[in-house]
Structures are given as structure tokens and as C-alpha cells.
Structure 1
Amino acid sequence: MTHQWRDALVTPQTTIVETLKILDKVALRIALIVDTEMKLLGVVTDGDIRRSLLKNVPLHESISSIMNIHPVTITKNEIGDPAQLIMSRHGILSIPVLDNGIVIGLEKIQTYKHSETYENPVFIMAGGFGTRLKPLTDNCPKPMLKIGDKPILETLIMQFKRAGFKNIFISTHYLPETITDYFNDGESWGVNIRYVHESKPLGTGGALGLLPDDIPDLPLIMINGDVLTNINIDKLLKFHNNSGGCATMCVREYRHQIPYGVIETENGKIVSMVEKPMQTFFINAGIYVLEPSVYKNVDNDVKIDMPTLLEHKISSGNIVYTFPIYEYWLDIGRMDDFNKAQLDIKGFI
């Protein structure tokens, strides 16, 4: 039984955004909503959070507004094999342990399962110039800049390795030898690395046309080489496989406050006034899962970015799903992002 479960307890009045911080910190991917007597009132998983974000539920709402009030639970007598069977049957990763309705623990499927391995290819885009990070990138590709004691690219590769992915493809263009000489074939990192080289920049989608023909005929996970994140890769892939879409794009909620009062008019008359309203958008997080029908049909030597490629698929009648990520995510594009990453790296993985 995990000993961190007490850190995942929240009250019904806790806000969604506060619960997000707890989920991220505790890394159990479930919050247990309890009353003052430790009686379980409901649970919220990271999946519940994602669905609420897609429904535009405000982050300041109380967690009780989205909690599952009928969760699957077990008693202390079911800890062990029965718990594993129940979790497998219901397709859940963790299950509260109750004694007369009172929370006394939390069981995780991870306790009983060996780590899964995947044959799915992983494609890391590492060919950019990193112009906004000059002079750091004058003699070093951006993905090879060190965050902490490791290059960004090494941190990414090790995250995929720990998640069970070993087939790594890396696109290169700017100073490619810096990358290939460092990682070689990936054996020292316990993965298989192959490279595709863009003789000219082909955009974030164009490099897909350079992938070899013998790549496994499975969904491909694609990620920009300057992204720092602790997204659950296993859950992302499972979401994609269950969705039935041709592609999945990871998105991040972005909030922007207009610094002025906004006036809405009709025929010159004021109908509403909102002081400094907050606007919420989903932005592209630079992480995708693509079906073979997408990445194996990109023409060789054609420049195209990923949003345009996916727009073409959508216009042809295909479905592209979004996967909201609330976990740590940082696009290291500017100097202030780079400096922030140096501070964050100590605790994000």
C-alpha cells in the first residue's frame, strides 16, 4: 500500500486548480475527497481533470463539482490479488482502501504489474537553430543545451526509456554531429536511436517524410526536442489508441487577462461591461501521436508544419483529438524559459 495517499486527501471545497497542484506534487494521479471524519466523498483522477478542461469548467470551481461520487473501492481484506483483479477489471490505476467508509489507504496497479514495454516509434524533432537562445546556440543545437547536468534531449530520451519506449528516431539539421556523436546508436542509454537528417529545414511535419520504410507500423509519438515535461506518456498512448482518431495533439491551457475593461455594444448602446476579463485558450504543446496513415504518407523533401498537416487531415474527413496536459510543461524557446527550466529541473521528474 502506498504511503503517499495522505498527501492526496482534499476537502470538497478545494478548488480544481489547487487539486491540480496536489496531483502534480504527489504523482499518484488521483485525489481523494474526504470530510473531516476521513469519510470518502468521492475521487478525482487526472482523466476527470482533462475532461473538465475540455468542457471549460472554470479552474476556481470546487473539486466537488467534478468528483466521482461512486468510485470503485476495496476493503483491507481485499488488498493483494483481489485488488489487482478489481483494478484490472475496471481499467483503473488505483483504488481507495476503506474501513466502514473511512479511508485507510490506497492501492496502485503499479505495485502488481511489471513495467510495460512498447514497440511504438518515438520521433524527436531536434533540427532547429534555436535563434532566440543565442549566443548559447551559436555552437550548440538547442536540444543539446544542458538543463541541470544533462542536455534537454537526454532528459527526453530517458523519460521515454523509463516509460518503456526504446525505438527512438531523431531528426537533425543544425550541427547534427553534436547530437549523433553524443548519443551514437543509443546503446549506452538502453534504447535504439536512428537519425534522419534534414539537408534543408522541412518544418515540424516535413521531417516525417524522411523516416525509413521499415519503421514499425504502429502509432508514432512525436515531440519537439525543446519541450520539458513530465506528461504520462503511457496514458497519452492509451488515450490515442482508444479514441480512434488519426492523430492526437497534446494541448495546454493558456490564460490571458485583458488589462482593460471590455465593452460590448449593440447599435451604439452598451449592453455589457466586463472589467479585465480572463480569456482561456488551448495551445499546441508540441507533442503528438500519429497513426501510420498520417506519418507514412508525408512526401519526401516537402516542407510542412504539423498544424498544417493535421488541418489537411481534418479537411479530408479525418478526426484529430486533443489531449489536455496539466502536468509540468515548458517550451524552452526563450532565455527566460531556459532560466526557469534550470530552477524547475530539480523537482519535475
Structure 2
Amino acid sequence: MKAIILAAGQGTRLRPLTDKCPKAMVKLHNKSLLDYQIEQFHRAGIQDIAVITGYKREAVTTEHAIKLYTNERFAETNMVYTLFCAQDELQEDVIVSYGDIFYSEPALQKLMSSESDISVVVDTQWKSYYAERFGNPYDDAESLVLNEAGQIRSIGQSQPLLENIQAQYIGLMRFKQRGLEQIKGIFHESMQSDAPIGWGRAAEKAYMTDLLQEAIHRGFDIQAVPIDGGWFEIDSLHDYEVALKCMDKSELWKKAK
């Protein structure tokens, strides 16, 4: 099992913290988000880690051994294109993580224990955390609909009906070999034909949720891995302050510092 961390974005909503570095290098208690993730992977026994950079790539540093890839077109592309900048790594069994998130060890272990071809971590108790981040928890919520078997039927649609918000996607997923072949087929077909995927975006501009939703449209199974909180995202200055408070008051995060 290997891990890929997507760390190419500019993080404009985190300025001035991202004036000189990407979001993954923003520090919480003197440790970067990137180092938090790498150390989490190491504790889980994952040593093969690739990081895909873009914005301020020269600022991406760590004492840990990693493979570095670069999305040279980071300013004009999005998450899916970034992932395929490390296509050589998309083999066998891969965990993919956004570079601006941090999650607890139980969340990672639960993902690693999934047997599905495509597995996606979702927070079923997201409302309290989103209320801290946005005031109204529904302001930034996207669709996430599960069937009775726990498979995802809708993910990433903006401004969904309230009944279509059963959980929230956190930016952490796993693809086994069959799942990797499925998403490779979607990406390359879309790049060659210019056909939109997911919620109507071209592959170059697509979010990861577009790729996942396109897999659902094509009848591929995506298994939800539910967690009860225990993660945070650093997408804005307010997110940063919320994360610092969480780490200071929770024994879970104190252990990670």
C-alpha cells in the first residue's frame, strides 16, 4: 500500500499563511500539515509516499523520505489533473489524500481495512464541525447520499437538497487495482474526447468528487467508510483558528503534536 498527497493548490483563502508556501506546508504547532500526514502514514506502516506539488513547489520540504511530482499547470487545472501527474504511482493499492487535511489514526485504519475497489472516508457527524467553520453547517455542505449497503450514490453536488446530505466527504480515499483501472479509464477518455465528467466539468478542471461521481454514473461501486469526526481541513484562516483550538483542547490531537 502506498499514499499520494495532493499538494499543488495555491490556497488563496489562507493568505498570508500561503504567501510563500502551499497549504500542505502551513504549520500547526510548529509542524506542517504535510509532516502530520507523513507521520500518520508511517505509524500505519505506509512508507511509500508521493507528494504532488505545484504552487511554491520549492517550499515543500520534509525530513522524511518521499517521492516528489509536480503539476506544472497547477494554476489552470484542478485535483484530478494533479493526481494524474503521478500516474506511475497509480498501481495496486493507493491511498489518496488532500494536502490540507489532517485526520485521526482510527480514520486511517478504518480506510485501510476496507475491502472495496474504491473506498471514501465520510464524516456522518459533520454538522458540529461545519457549524464551527461556517456558522450555518449547510452553507458549504455538498451532497453525499448512501444506499442501504453503505455505497455512495451522490457526492460533491453543490447546494443540494437537505435530504441529500447524509454525511460529508473529507478528502481521503483509497483505490485498489480494479478501482485504479476504472478511474484511469474515465480520466483518459475524458481528456481525449473533452467530454465533461461528474457534475459537468472537463477532466482538467474536475474535482475529485467529479471523478468519483462519474464512476458512480458508470455503475462502479464506491464504498463509504464512515467516521464520527476526528479530522479537520485548513482551507481558510478561520479553519486554521478552529483547528488550533481543536488541537489544544482534545487529547486526540495533543498526542499528534
Amino acid at match of 1:305: Y
1:248 to 113, 119, 134: 119
Q: Which residue of 2 aligns with 1:175?
A: 56
Read off the aligned partner of 1:194 and give its amino acid letter.
Answer: K
2:55 match: secondary structure = coil
1:342, CA displacement in angstroms?
2.1
SS at 2:167's partner residue?
strand
Rg larger in structure? 1
SS of 2:235's partner is: coil
Q: Are residue 200 (structure 1) and residue 200 (structure 2) matched?
A: no
Matched with 1:5 is none
Partners of 2:80 and 2:105 in 1: CA distance = 22
Matched residue, 2:227: 325
Change (3 A) 1:160 1:284: same
TM norm structure 2: 0.69
- 1:250-265 alignment to 2 at 5 Å? 250-253=121-124, 254-255=126-127
1:230-262 alpha-carbon deviations (Å, 9 max, x no partner): 0422321212x2x3xx3111111333679xxxx
The residue identity in structure 1 corresponding to 2:181 is S
Structure 1 CA distance, aligned partners of 2:86 and 2:183?
9
- Does 2:236 align with 1:334? yes
Q: By how many angstroms is 1:194 displaced? A: 0.9
Q: Which residue of 2 aligns with 1:78?
A: none
8 Å contact kept, 1:171–1:198:
yes
Query: 2: distance between equivalents of 1:285 and 1:328?
Result: 10
Using CA pairs under 8 Å that are at least 6 residues apart, name the structure with larger relative contact order, 1 or 2: 2
Residues of 2 paired with 1:127 and 1:345: CA distance?
25
1:227 Cα offset (Å)? 0.5
Report how far residue 322 of structure 1 moved.
1.0
- What residue in structure 1 maps to residue 195 of structure 2? none
Mapped contact 2:119–2:223 kept (Cα < 8 A): yes
1:199/1:247 Cα in 2 relative to 1: closer, same or farther (>3 Å)? same
Residue 293 (1) aligns with residue 181 (2): yes
Are 2:24 and 1:143 equivalent residues in the alignment?
Answer: yes
Structure 1 residues 294 and 121: CA distance shift in structure 2, 3 A: farther
Indicate if the aligned counterparts of 1:208 and 1:295 stay in contact, CA closer than 8 A.
Answer: no
Give me the whole-angstrom Cα distance separating, in 1, the residues matched to 2:100 and 2:112.
Answer: 20
Question: Share of identical aligned residues, percent?
Answer: 26
Q: Which residue of the partner structure matches residue 210 of structure 2?
A: 308
Distance 1:219 1:281 in 2: 28
More strand by percentage: 1
1:235 aligned partner, one-letter code: K
Look up the SS of the partner of 2:166 in the other structure: strand
The equivalent of 2:15 in structure 1 is 134
Q: 1:196 to 1:296 in 2, by over 3 A?
A: farther
Q: Which amino acid aligns with 1:237?
A: M
Unaligned runs of 5+ in 2: 128-135, 139-161, 193-202
**Residue 313 (structure 1) shift:** 1.3
Change in CA separation of 1:312 and 1:212 when aligned onto 2, cut-off 3 Å: closer
In the TM superposition, what whole-angstrom CA distance separates every residue of 1:60-119 from its partner, at most 9, and x where no partner exists?
A: xxxxxxxxxxxxxxxxxxxxxxxxxxxxxxxxxxxxxxxxxxxxxxxxxxxxxxxxxxxx
In structure 1, the residue matched to 2:40 is 159
Name stretches of at least 5 consecutive residues in structure 1 with no aligned partner: 1-119, 259-277
What is the aligned partner in structure 1 of residue 149 from structure 2? none
Q: How does 1:67-146 map to 2 (within 5 A)?
A: 120-146=1-27
Question: Can you list the C-alpha shifts for 1:193-227, whole angstroms capped at 9, x where unaligned?
Answer: 112211112322222222253x3732211111111
Task: Give the distance between the partners of 2:5 and 2:18, measured in 1 at CA.
Answer: 18
The answer to whether the aligner puts 1:236 opposite 2:106 as a matched pair is no
